[in-house]
Chain A
Amino acid sequence: MITRARHLALAGLLLLASLCAPAPSAAREYLQLFVTEPYLELHTGPGRGYPVFHVVPRDASVDVLFRRTDWFKVRTERGVEGWASQGDMLKTVLADGSPFRFPLGDRAGFTAHRWEMGIFAGEYGAATLVSGYAAVSFNSQLQIEGAVGNFLGKFTNGVTGDIGLAHIILPESRLSPFLTLGVGLVHTEPKATLVQPANRTEQSAYVGGGLRYYLTRRFFLRAEYKAHWIFTKRNANEEADEWKLGFAFFY
């Protein structure tokens, strides 16, 4: 078992390495930017504490290789590679003289962004809930979101999957309420020991609402309530309340 796991891990790693080997740089076209400030500082790593080891003088250009968080890996005309901060890159220009602009992780980004993701802990019915979600925005007020949850209770465990629309009521505000509406699936595994009831998967619908609170950089808090209606094959439908609180970020 252990040998098999080890072989599997090694095979997976080799596959990953082959997938991720950097593409030949000649085939790739990089964005060229020009320095307009007296100089552009290059750090040894993507973080504020890494020392500056090189400066690019005014009017010289750099190629942007890639971006990691708020840092850009750049290459100078002489082939020196280093990391430039987001703040410094804002002061560079494109070849036509127009300023270089890109999405920043700030309050404006909180109002209007494309992607967001988050993790939650909470309650589903009477069970503890672990949940994650991802959303794509159509505009600053409307987004489609998918959530997956795992509820762990005394008598039942299960998994939920939801997809629905969210309407953000005050996207410009730091504390912004939202409403959600959607459908989902619930897979329930009862834990009864005497009579073994079968596991079941049922459709559900939900309506809910919550609050988003912008913290800093790309982070916000999200508290949410959802009222679920589970459409069972029995005589009466079931209802379940979901409460959760979590961290999320946007990109």
Chain B
Amino acid sequence: METGLRILLLTALLAMLPGCASWRHHKGQPPSAQKVPTAQSPDEAPPRVVEPEVARREIKVPKIRSSNIELGLFYGELSIEDFGAHPVSGITVAYHITEDFFFQAEAGRAEAGRTSFEVLGGNVQLLTESERRFTYYDLSLGYNFLPGEAFLGRGVAMTSAFYLIGGFGGTDFAGDTKFTVNFGAGYRVVPVDWLAVHIMAQDHVFQTSLLGTTKITNNLEARIGVTVFF
């Protein structure tokens, strides 16, 4: 095994060498590669009639600011299957790649209530207080499905988009973290270039065997959010 590992590492290292070499090449040309301009003899130089005295205008090109990152907070209601609907809040970060697609990472937290079994059973406690904390994160790809404009009266027009979103992540609930698939849709209005307001609904789906049988749970979330573009 040790020899196999050594060979594998060596192969990878060898394969990387050309990359390193081209980096050096990229940083600075070797002197031998540079062409030495041949001096022209004075006889061949064309006679100058007018000596131009106009200095060429130097253009300083200012950097163009990119505004593709969207950072914000949300607040809403999350219906945790068997544990009731409860307020949820969290943070989102999105990166707009093209006018159609964006990546989004988000994390949210809610406190689960009691199951009907616990309510009816009196002192029965299925979970401890810390296990009732429902924390999720996900990485998603969003698609601006119906871009458009929203109007406020005659004078105000705001760009907007109805978007679809889907991804995967993890949910920490009842003392375990489960692989979770999320999908949903939202509506984004951009009143000014740096600010956006979202209304969104999505489902977090994961498998659990918390209540005896293994089943797929659907945890629906509806929320509003405010984000800022950078």
B180 → chain A, closest Cβ, in Å?
A: 9
Docked-complex contact A130 and B97, CB < 8 angstroms: no
Q: Do B87 and A5 touch (CB < 8 A)? A: yes
A71 to B139, CA, bound (A): 25
Binary contact readout B134-169 vs A (1 if CB under 8 angstroms, 0 otherwise): 000001010010011100000001010000000111
Using A70-B99, A95-B57 as known contacts, say yes or no to A50 and B159 having CB atoms under 8 A apart. yes
Interface string of B194-223 (1 = CB under 8 A from A): 110000000000000000000000000000
From A1, A29, A66, A152, contact of B66 by CB (8 A): A66
Q: Kindly report which residue of chain B lies nearest to residue A189, judged by CB atoms.
A: B177
Encoded as 1 (CB less than 8 Å from any B CB) or 0, chain A from 154 to 190 comes to 0001000000010111000000000111000000000
A94 touches B59 (CB 8 A): yes
Interface assignment of A141: CB less than 8 Å from any CB of chain B: yes
B179 at the interface (CB under 8 A from A): yes
| Closest CB in chain A relative to B66 CB, distance in Å | 5
Q: How many residues of A contact B (CB 8 A)?
A: 72
Q: How far is the CA of A165 from the CA of B18 in the complex (A)?
A: 13
B33 part of interface (Cβ distance < 8 Å): no
Complex Cα spacing A48 to B144, Å: 12
A2 touches B87 (CB 8 A): yes
Chain A residues in 8 Å Cβ range of B87:
2, 5
Interface membership of B101, Cβ < 8 A = yes
By size class, the interface of chain B is 35 or more
Known: A48-B99, A180-B12. A191 touches B176 (CB 8 A): yes
A9 near B169 with CB under 8 A, answer no
In the bound complex, CA of A207 to CA of B229 (Å): 38
Alpha-carbon distance A44/B178, docked complex (angstroms): 44
**Contact present for A31 and B61 (CB under 8 Å):** yes
Residues of B within 8 A of A96 (CB): 56-57, 59
- Chain B 93-115, CB within 8 Å of chain A: the 1/0 string? 00111110101010001010000
Identity of the chain A residue whose Cβ is nearest the Cβ of B65 in the assembled complex: A66
Which residues from A are CB-within-8-Å of B5? 229
23-42 of chain B: CB within 8 A of chain A: 23, 26
Across chains A and B, the number of contacting residue pairs, with CB separation under 8 Å, is: 169
User: A69–B141 contact, CB under 8 A?
Assistant: no
A204-240 residues with Cβ-Cβ distance < 8 A to B are 207, 209, 217-219, 227, 229
B205 to chain A, nearest CB (A): 14
Judge whether B141 and A70 touch: CB under 8 Å. Answer: no
Alpha-carbon gap, A63 to B73, bound state (A): 32
Judge whether B228 and A218 touch: CB under 8 Å: no
By the criterion CB–CB under 8 Å, are A13 and B22 in contact? no
Contact indicator B194/A20 (Cβ below 8 Å):
yes
Interface pair A249/B12, CB less than 8 Å apart: no
Contact: B26 with A139, CB < 8 Å?
Answer: yes
Which residue of A has the minimal Cβ distance to B59? A96
Q: Is the CB of B176 within 8 A of A181?
A: no
Docked pose: A223 CA to B3 CA in angstroms? 27
Chain A proximity of B190: nearest CB distance (Å): 8
CB <8 Å contact, A69 and B72: no
What are 28 sample pairs from A and B whose C-beta atoms fall under 8 A apart?
Answer: A1-B111, A2-B111, A6-B89, A9-B75, A12-B73, A20-B194, A30-B62, A31-B61, A45-B147, A45-B149, A49-B148, A50-B147, A66-B67, A67-B66, A68-B66, A69-B68, A71-B99, A96-B57, A102-B64, A132-B105, A141-B19, A141-B23, A152-B178, A152-B179, A180-B12, A207-B12, A247-B141, A251-B97
Counting from the closest, the 9 A-B pairs by CB-CB distance are: A142-B19, A45-B159, A141-B19, A167-B16, A119-B139, A20-B228, A167-B19, A66-B65, A128-B179
6 other A-B residue contacts (CB within 8 Å) besides A50-B159, A141-B23: A2-B87, A9-B73, A29-B62, A47-B147, A130-B139, A219-B97
Q: A residues bordering B, Cβ < 8 Å?
A: 1-2, 5-6, 8-9, 12-13, 16-17, 19-22, 29-31, 44-50, 64-73, 94-96, 98, 102, 105, 117, 119, 121, 128, 130, 132, 138-142, 150, 152, 157, 165, 167-169, 179-181, 191, 207, 209, 217-219, 227, 229, 247, 249, 251
